[in-house]
Structure formats: structure tokens, C-alpha cells
């Protein structure tokens, strides 16, 4: 099986997490079916996010620069995985990678999420 890593995201690990998330929505373990938190990085600090996700080629080490890079990264990973993935912050202020199970753009703050561990 071909494994690929885009910055700090392993596509094989994401596929596994996506499969687990979908299974949890089917078996009723996860009752919130719009978006699912796949990964939480337990930080909202820009420098920590850059290190965790290996975003060393980022041009601007500002909040806006990191968010733009994360937007590009989520677009790339979504295209490669054929899933709707996006980064946003949890209610605790930590960066998370989310899976959207519908076509509507839903923000984590506006809906409860289920973790796919």
C-alpha cells in the first residue's frame, strides 16, 4: 500500500480515521453526523502548529499566514482523500482537523462534534 505524507499529515492515518468516523456514525456511537473531529492538536499556538504539522516553508508566521497555509493544506488533503476536510479551532481554542459528512460548510463552533479516535 502506498503511503504519503503531506506536511505533518499521513494520508494512510487519515483514511483510517475517516473510516472509523464513518463507522461510528453508522453504528450510533457518534450521534452528531454533520462534522467529526478527526485530529486535535491540543494547541492554538502558531509556533506549535507550525512544528506539529511541519509547515516550515510558511511565508508569514502570523495567524493569518498559518490559517492560509492550513486552508491550502486542507484543500490538497481533501482532493487526495476525496473527502471534505478542513481545519478549525475547537471550543477550547485548539486546532483540529475536521471531516464534513455533508456538502454544506459547517463550522465546528456552530455544531457539536464527535471525536473519531
Q: What is the pLDDT of residues 14-53, one digit of tens each?
A: 899 999 888 888 877 665 668 889 999 999 999 999 999 9
Q: Output the pLDDT for position 104.
A: 47
Q: Give 75-99 pLDDT, tens digit per residue.
A: 999 988 899 999 999 999 999 999 9
Residue predicted with more confidence, 21 or 105:
21
Number of domains in the chain: 1
Q: Is residue 101 part of a domain?
A: yes
73 — pLDDT class (breaks 50, 70, 90):
very high
Q: Do 65 and 58 form a contact (C-beta atoms < 8 A)?
A: yes
- The model's pTM is 0.79
How many Å apart are CA 96 and CA 83, to the nearest integer?
16
Number of Cα atoms under 13 Å in the Cβ half of residue 75: 6
Q: Is residue 17 part of a domain?
A: no
> How many residues would you count in the chain?
117
Residue 5, SS3 per DSSP? strand
Domain around 87: 27-115
Q: Is residue 4 part of a domain?
A: no
Tell which residue, 42, 26, 50, has the closest CA to residue 93: 42
Q: Residue 115 corresponds to which cell in the numbers above?
A: 471525536
* Residue 64 pLDDT exceeds 70: yes
Q: Is residue 16 part of a domain?
A: no
Arithmetic mean of pLDDT, 57-73: 92
Residue predicted with more confidence, 109 or 21:
21
Amino acid at each position: 500500500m502506498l503511503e504519503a505524507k503531506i506536511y505533518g499529515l499521513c494520508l494512510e492515518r487519515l483514511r483510517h480515521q475517516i473510516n472509523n468516523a464513518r463507522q461510528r456514525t453508522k453504528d450510533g456511537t457518534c450521534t452528531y453526523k454533520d462534522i467529526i473531529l478527526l485530529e486535535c492538536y491540543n494547541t492554538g499556538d502558531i509556533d506549535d502548529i507550525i512544528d506539529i504539522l511541519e509547515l516550515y516553508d510558511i511565508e508569514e508566521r502570523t495567524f493569518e499566514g498559518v490559517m492560509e497555509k492550513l486552508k491550502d493544506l486542507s484543500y490538497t488533503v481533501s482532493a487526495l482523500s476525496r473527502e471534505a476536510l478542513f481545519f478549525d479551532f475547537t471550543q477550547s481554542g485548539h486546532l483540529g482537523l475536521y471531516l464534513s459528512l455533508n456538502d454544506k460548510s459547517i463550522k465546528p463552533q456552530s455544531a457539536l462534534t464527535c471525536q473519531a479516535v
